[in-house]
């Protein structure tokens, strides 16, 4: 499972929101304000071509004074725009090739940072009220340029920033001239308040990025969506340590499967040539191996299911909070955010693999034990007389019987202890205790054949009463306890969906799934 680790360590649960908002809405969010140099008037390095008949159209990069400002009243806006863009590119190439950016990734970042702000076009302020009409005509030339240009480098962001600059110049003209102020104000309102949204919409649609005409509402909606994603991303990150630990544990578990299979093959080979004196040791090792292999996958499944339910809950909450924005998301072709999908797929694969391996290993152990019992019976019949057979059995089984008895006694003692409690509601977590009872019940079929495996008799006698207790716990006590706890958690305000899931599992007889869902709901109560 190298890919889940790569996901956790390389990506974590953090990058899914940035990729999402970039798809389909690249120019929809409010552009960042350039640094303070953006508000400075062009410096003395500006190249200026002027005509007395009309105010000049100027082009510059707002945050970078190294790029000269170019002004002309006669040149086409496209020429001015392209000239500044060429200068930006040349300068950015130099910056990207800087020795301080030795890797390709660093060069790429330097290039993207340098190219962040596109050229901006505006019209210089009219020198007198007689130039107002000419000034309006120059503004219209800029608007036509943005409206009709198909060049990929002519963006809606550039258009918006250009018209914002034009508005600032118009406001300055209002403050500079007392007559005819209304003419300038009306022109400013007509061009910027009415034309701006339509033109931006037309330009953005030409770029394949449809946006709403109401940019203010759009930005507000995008901000709300980003806020929702950020909150849920933070919630997912709280589960990342547990997720990373589980993936690491699973990788170790999966890696040791060849070791397990080789050991099982070796035991099968040893059993095929073993004597009455050595068979009990092989049987005991198989039982211990079976127990360890039954615990590991169950623990993995429990933890994977618990984490999966927690991530699923975060996803459901995200869907609920995004629901008011679904129309906006569909209109703008934004991919529906699924921040938890990849880790949930990994967790599902962990559960499937653990269950499959549990079945495979159990089948091999069961068949091997059956073979050992048959060989043991056959070897005993070959002995000279009954007294000799009894002596051999007693001598060879004593050590194995003592060890198995100690193990079963320890398991009975452990299963009788109370499970841990939650901090706030003081209710017991039940999935771990269920696992202990199920582990004991797995030995019931083995002990049923104890007549063919005499050394297990004493330990199985210790388990006889516990088998009945464990069955009652799994079938009666545990479901009843969960139903009582559901009522307590519902009164305490635990999420209704989580509680309904427990009830559904109980109604269907899925006790293990119900216990896991119960513990997930109980853990959520700690946050109330």
pLDDT tens digit string along 14-69?
322 232 223 333 333 333 333 333 333 433 333 443 434 789 999 988 877 778 89
Question: Is it the case that residue 394 has pLDDT exceeding 80?
Answer: no
| Closest alpha carbon to 515 in 507, 523, 524, 505 | 505
Residues 6 or more apart in contact with residue 63 via CB below 8 angstroms: 34, 35, 37, 38, 117
* Tokens linked to 255: 């890696």
Identify the band that residue 181 occupies on the pLDDT scale cut at 50, 70 and 90.
very low
What pLDDT is attached to residue 201? 56
Identify the band that residue 508 occupies on the pLDDT scale cut at 50, 70 and 90.
very high
* Tokens linked to 127: 């020198």
pLDDT in tens, 496-507: 888 998 999 999
Q: Which helix (H) or strand (E) holds 59?
A: strand 57-60
pLDDT in tens, 96-155: 777 666 677 777 777 777 777 789 999 998 887 778 888 888 888 888 888 788 787 887
pLDDT in tens, 430-444: 988 998 898 888 888
What pLDDT is attached to residue 444? 83
Q: Model pTM greater than 0.85?
A: no
| Closest alpha carbon to 310 in 253, 224, 237 | 237
pLDDT in tens, 211-251: 433 454 566 677 778 778 888 788 888 888 888 899 888 98
As a whole-number percent, the residues of the chain with pLDDT over 70 amount to 74
Look at the alpha carbons of 159, 165, 166, 171 in this order and tell me if their dihedral is positive or negative: positive
Q: Where are the beta strands (DSSP E) in 246-308?
A: none
* Stated length of the chain: 528
Mean pLDDT for 252-269 is 85
């Amino acid at each position: 499972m190298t890919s889940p680790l790569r996901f956790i360590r390389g990506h974590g649960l953090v990058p899914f929101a940035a990729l999402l908002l970039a798809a389909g809405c690249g120019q929809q969010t409010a552009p960042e304000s350039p640094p303070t140099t953006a508000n400075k008037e062009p410096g003395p390095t500006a190249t200026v071509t002027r005509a007395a008949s009309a105010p000049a159209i100027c082009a510059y990069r707002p945050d970078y004074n190294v790029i000269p400002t170019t002004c002309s009243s006669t040149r086409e806006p496209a020429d001015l725009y392209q000239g500044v863009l060429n200068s930006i590119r040349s300068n950015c190439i130099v910056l990207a090739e800087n020795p301080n950016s030795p890797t390709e990734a660093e060069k790429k970042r330097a290039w993207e940072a340098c190219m962040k702000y596109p050229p901006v076009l505006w019209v210089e302020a009219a020198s007198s009220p007689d130039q107002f009409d000419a000034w309006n005509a120059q503004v219209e030339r800029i608007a036509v340029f943005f409206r009709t240009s198909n060049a990929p480098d002519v963006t809606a962001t550039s258009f918006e920033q250009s018209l914002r600059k034009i508005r600032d110049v118009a406001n300055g003209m209002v403050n500079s001239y007392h007559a005819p102020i209304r003419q300038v104000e009306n022109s400013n309102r007509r061009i910027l308040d009415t034309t701006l949204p339509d033109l931006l919409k037309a330009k953005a649609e030409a770029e394949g990025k449809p946006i709403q005409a109401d940019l203010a509402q759009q930005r507000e909606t995008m901000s709300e969506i980003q806020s929702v994603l950020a909150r849920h991303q933070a919630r997912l990150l709280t589960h990342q340590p547990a997720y990373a630990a589980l993936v690491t544990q699973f990788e170790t578990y999966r890696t040791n499967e060849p070791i397990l299979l080789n050991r099982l093959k070796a035991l099968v080979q040893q059993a095929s040539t073993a004597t009455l004196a050595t068979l009990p040791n092989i049987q005991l090792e198989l039982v211990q191996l079976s127990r360890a292999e039954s615990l590991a996958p169950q623990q993995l499944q429990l933890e994977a299911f618990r984490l999966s339910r927690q991530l699923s809950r975060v996803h459901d909450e995200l869907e609920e909070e995004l629901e008011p924005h679904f129309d906006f998301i569909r209109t703008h072709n934004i991919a529906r955010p699924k921040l938890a999908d990849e880790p949930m797929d990994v967790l599902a694969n962990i559960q499937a693999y653990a269950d499959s391996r549990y079945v495979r290993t159990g089948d091999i152990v069961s068949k091997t034990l059956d073979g050992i019992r048959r060989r043991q019976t056959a070897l005993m019949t070959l002995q000279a007389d009954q007294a000799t057979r009894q002596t051999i059995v007693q001598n060879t089984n004593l050590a194995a019987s003592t060890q198995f008895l100690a193990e079963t006694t320890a398991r009975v003692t452990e299963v009788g202890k109370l499970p841990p409690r939650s901090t706030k509601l003081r209710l017991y977590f039940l999935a771990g205790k269920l696992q202990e009872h199920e582990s004991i019940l797995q030995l019931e079929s083995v002990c049923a054949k104890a007549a063919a495996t005499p050394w297990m008799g004493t330990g199985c006698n210790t388990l006889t009463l516990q088998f009945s207790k464990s069955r009652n716990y799994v079938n009666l006590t545990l479901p009843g306890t969960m139903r009582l706890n559901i009522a307590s958690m519902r009164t305490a305000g635990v999420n209704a969906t989580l509680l309904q899931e427990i009830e559904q599992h109980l109604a269907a007889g899925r006790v293990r799934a119900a216990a896991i869902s119960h513990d997930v709901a109980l853990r959520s109560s700690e946050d109330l």
